[in-house]
Amino acid sequence: MAKKYIDVAAHFDTNGQIIPIIFWWDNGKCYRIDRVTEIRRAASLKAGGTGIRYTCRILGKNRYLYYDDYARKWFVEINENF
């Protein structure tokens, strides 16, 4: 598993909560996040690092999206040979 930083468009609500809406893959394709089912701080042991972990429903599948609040970057865990 490796770490892949991605571009994300997010909604910052009046309570200060950040909810990701869309993210872009490096081939330019964009994916809409249908629903965020869980938000919690978690370590990514596979990709390395820690951050706010969003469990997202994307195209009918659950995916983890991390916001590294120290580096201020979004990342996902991907297979090394992806």
Partner 1 sequence: MERTILHCDCNNFYASVECLYHPELRGIPVAVAGDSQLRHGIVLAKNYEAKKCGVKTGNPLWLARQLCPNIVFVRPHFDLYMNFSKMCREIYSQYSDRVEPYGLDECWIDVTGSTWLFGSGAAIANSIREKIKSELGITISVGVSFNKVFSKLGSDYKKPDATTIIPFNDFRKIVWPLPVSSLLFVGRATASLLERKCIDTIGKLAQTDRRYVKDWLGKCGETLWLYANGYDTSPVAAIGEQPVIKSIGNSTTMPRDLINYDEMKITLMVLSESVAARLRQHNLQCETVQISIRGTDLSWIERQEKLAAPCCDSTTIYLKAYELLKKHHQNGKPVRSLGVRACNLSLRRFDQMSFIPSVQKSRSHEAVEEVLDNLRSRFGNKIVQRGIMLTDAALSALDPQTNYHNLVLSTVHSQ
Check binding of 75 to partner 1 (CB under 8 A): no
Q: Taking CB under 8 A as the criterion, which residues in 8-47 touch partner 1?
A: 40-47
Distance CA 58, CA 69 (A): 22
Report the sign of the C-alpha dihedral through residues 76, 18, 72, 24, in that order.
positive
For partner 1, give the closer residue by CB, 21 or 43: 43
Give min distance, CB of 60 to partner 1, in A: 27
* Under rule CB under 8 A, residue 76 binds partner 1: no
Phi then psi dihedrals of residue 5, to 5 deg: -80, 140
Residues at the site binding partner 1, with contacts judged by CB under 8 A: 1, 40-50, 70
